[in-house]
Amino acid sequence: MDLALSPQDEAFRDEVRAFLAENLPARLREGMAASPGVFVEPDIGQEWQAILNKKGWLAYQWPKAVGGTGWTPVQRYIFEKECALAGAPTLTALSLKLLAPVVYTFGTAEQKARILPRILTGEDYWCQGFSEPDSGSDLASLKTRAVRDGDRYIVNGSKIWTTHAHHANKIFCLVRTDPNGPKQSGISFLLIDMKQPGVTVRPILTLAGDHEVNQVFLDNAVAPVSDRIGDEGDGWMIAKFLLENERGGSCHAPRLLADLEAI
């Protein structure tokens, strides 16, 4: 098998290198190097994402039909590795790589038009509400309850290990809309505004004193029915789709190889 880059891919690599050399500020490289956790701090990450968005390269993993680049897998790999070699900040995977594919795969036309552009502009910063204090490895046993009240849901429960919830203004959640029947069948996928009175974020500090994850409390929080992705009961199916992207997307081979080359 020939693993050498084609002339077209070599030209693409050179284009990416030239762009990074011209457009990646030293302060963003330094911010990435100083980041203690999995994700870079939002002020560093959002500035870099704005630069990529202006270039049209931010949604490099999205299909072209929904605003992505339409790059090949090899081009995506090249881009990730060159960004890592240059010391560029990591991107907000929760929004770009987890929620966005859910929206453009299962969302309505209205949801796609409303949600995806705000991910790209950074107007919405998302966190993930899956795990609960008593529902970690057995995620389908989750207890956060969403009760429909006309054109809205009233949500009560708690989520834990929620990365960057203290920065986020939105959270995508698995909630139980039907407490009867098999536990997987009563789960729905709901988007909730974090900046409302019914949402409280409590920090969870690491042994080193770093603050990256949190516990989120939902006390009569409100979410419109228009912010449910898919039908009621589709949450488990959507969660499996999302987790496939999460586990596949968490393979940081380009960045790890770049780290090895830098040693």
Which residues are designated catalytic?
246
Give the 3-state secondary structure of residue 85: helix
CA 132 to chain centre: 18
Structure token pair of residue 193: 């505004």
C-alpha pair distances (Å), 31 with each of 24, 25, 48, 94: 12, 10, 11, 20
Helix (H) or strand (E) holding 77: helix 73-86
Q: Are 180 and 186 in contact (CB under 8 A)?
A: yes
DSSP letters along 153-177, please? EEEEEEEES-TTTTT-SEEEEEEES
